[in-house]
Structure 1
Amino acid sequence: MATPWATPEELRVHLKLAVIDEEQAAEKIAAAEETIRGAIWQRVDAVAADELFLVGNGRTVVNLPEMPVTAVTTVHQDGTLLVEGTDYRYNRYGILTRLGACWPLDADVAVVYDHGYADADRPDVFKTVCLQVAGRAWVRASAGVAAESLGDRSVTYDKDRTGENLSSFEERLLERYARGPESR
């Protein structure tokens, strides 16, 4: 499992607090990571030997959903093993190109590949945005109640007011790392 993108101590320093509840801070950081992953449609952390099933689209390229692609171990088209460099090539941006042909329409394409960033290689922008989102959630946690019920106790939080949504500036910072729904 990958290490958290930021530590409770880094969140404490970011917020300029004398002390911080480390357990709550770790929860805010984990929630911020999930918010970022959801916004850019990426896992971000390194994953080895991820198995993926795609459908041929009648074009020469298909998009692998996760970036960066660090290795493609195998590609099968309708059960036939393809050879890298002869039958296909890939790049770090998740573009799987069929060489000398197209991916047949509705063909089953099975791919085993590695993707994401190792902890040491993860761009600093992820930590920066994570600390910003976690910091807003920390500061505004009690101000974000949008609705509250009494019977069987129910509380609904407004994520805009708790700071758990990404700002437009943060979205622009992360935009280059996003793949989007077209690859799903």
Structure 2
Amino acid sequence: MAEPWATPEELRVHLRLPVIDEAQAAEKITAAETVIRGELRQHIDAVAGAAVDLVGNGRRVILLPERPVTAVASVVVDGHTPLLSTEYRWNRYGILTHLGGCWPLDAAITVLCDHGYTVLPAPVKQVCLQVAGRAWVRPSTGLAAESLGDRSVTYDKDRTGEALSDYELRILAPYARGPESR
């Protein structure tokens, strides 16, 4: 399990509160992380030895779904012998280039790689604190609907402060994966 992106103490300082309920603060931080990961469609945290399954596109370049890529250990096409490291090239942006031609169309490509940030980028942490802070300040206004029979409650993310603002989306944009790898 990856370390939390922020601590309850950091949230307390962000909100300028004298004290904070650490369990509730940790819950708000975890919820903010989930919202941000969902928006970015990225794991963000460092992962070693991830097996990524892709489908060949008939082009020389294929995109890995997570960024940044920090290492590629192997590339296997249709379960056969792994390609030699001289047969492909990769970069931190997740671009995997086949140097001997094109990736076979509709082939099953398995890439064993490391990806993510060992140190969380400061802008991502700041947005996490902002989202968790809004959720902390406005917890009770998130109720959008409530029923009495069989007890049904619906929450609205815009009202709880968990929805990302346009400004926050612009800050996070460099950390999102591109449209071709979705």
The counterpart of 1:153, out of the listed 146, 151, 161, is: 151
Deviation per CA, 1:56-85, whole angstroms, max 9, x where unpaired? 10000111000000000110112131012x
Quote the residue 1:89 is aligned against: 89
Quote the residue 2:115 is aligned against: 115
The counterpart of 2:130, out of the listed 114, 129, 132, is: 132
Quote the residue 2:12 is aligned against: 12
Q: Which amino acid counterpart does residue 12 of structure 1 have in structure 2?
A: R
Deviation per CA, 1:18-49, whole angstroms, max 9, x where unpaired? 11110000000000001000000000001111
TM-score, normalization: structure 2? 0.96
Q: Which amino acid counterpart does residue 82 of structure 1 have in structure 2?
A: L
Between 27-36 and 9-18, the greater mean CA deviation after superposition: 9-18
Partners in 2 of 1:4 and 1:126 — Cα distance? Answer: 12
How far did residue 127 of structure 1 move? 1.1
Deviation per CA, 1:3-28, whole angstroms, max 9, x where unpaired? 11111011111111111110000000
Quote the residue 2:161 is aligned against: 163
Where do 1:53-68 residues align within 5 Å?
53-68=53-68
Partners in 2 of 1:80 and 1:102 — Cα distance? Answer: 17
Q: Secondary structure at the match of 1:80?
A: coil
Partners in 2 of 1:152 and 1:22 — Cα distance? Answer: 32
TM-score, normalization: structure 1? 0.95
Which stretches in structure 2 are left out of the alignment for 5+ residues? none
Quote the residue 2:175 is aligned against: 177
Which stretches in structure 1 are left out of the alignment for 5+ residues? none
Quote the residue 2:26 is aligned against: 26
Q: Secondary structure at the match of 2:11?
A: helix
Note if contact 1:41-1:180 (Cα within 8 Å) is conserved in structure 2. Answer: no
Where do 1:101-112 residues align within 5 Å?
101-112=101-112
Q: Secondary structure at the match of 2:112?
A: strand
Query: Number of residues paired by the alignment?
Result: 181
Quote the residue 2:70 is aligned against: 70
- Percent identical pairs in the alignment equals 70
Q: Which amino acid counterpart does residue 96 of structure 1 have in structure 2?
A: L
Partners in 1 of 2:154 and 2:14 — Cα distance? Answer: 27
